[in-house]
Amino acid sequence: MTIDQLSIFVENKPGHLMEITETLGNAGIDLRALSIGDTAEFGVLRLIVNDPGKALDILHDAGFVVSITQVLAVSLNDTPGSLGKILRVIANAGINIEYMYAFVTQKSVGAYAVFRVEDNDAALADLRRHGVDTVSLNDTL
């Protein structure tokens, strides 16, 4: 199963990131995970939220450039080597990871990793074959 991730173009100027998060917060959108990468001029903010469709509409209406991308999320133990094992599964399947981000949670799972890969279906099938738990937006993410 894949998760809808919002990708938002953010000008690299003071207050722009705040505008996005306040716009979503004022609309009752809960942020579940985020990552931002930047250049000198702009950044791409990647968000997983509780209601991606509503968030997309709200951000479009507010004038932001935003799109939805399908990503994979997996749960893993918060122990040394756990991420490496999952990366090995994906690499052995010959699937390229375009980007990823990870975070630790205080829930019993321990950690999550979110991946944008070149072939979601192939990656999902291979991860499942190797017993890797994938998660959906409705899970504890």
Q: Identify the residue with better confidence: 116 or 136.
A: 116
- The letter for the amino acid at 111 is A
- Mean pLDDT (the chain) is 89
**pTM for this structure?**
0.81
CATH superfamily of 3-70: VC0802-like (3.30.2130.10)
pLDDT value of residue 109: 59
Q: DSSP letter at 89?
A: H
Q: What is the pLDDT of residues 32-89, one digit of tens each?
A: 889 998 777 889 999 999 999 999 999 999 999 999 999 999 988 888 999 999 999 9
pLDDT value of residue 141: 56
The pLDDT > 90 percentage for the chain reads 53
**CA nearest to 72, candidates 89, 55, 56, 59:** 89
* Residue entry with tokens 């999320």: 73
Residues of the chain with CATH 3.30.2130.10: 3-70
* Mean pLDDT for the stretch of residues 103-131: 81
* Mean pLDDT for the stretch of residues 6-12: 93
* Residue entry with tokens 């993410």: 141
Beta bridge partners of 34: 47
pLDDT value of residue 108: 60
Residues of the chain with CATH 3.30.70.260: 71-129
Q: Options 3.40.640.10, 3.40.50.620, 3.30.70.260, 1.10.275.10; which CATH number does 71-129 get?
A: 3.30.70.260
d(CA 54, CA 29): 8
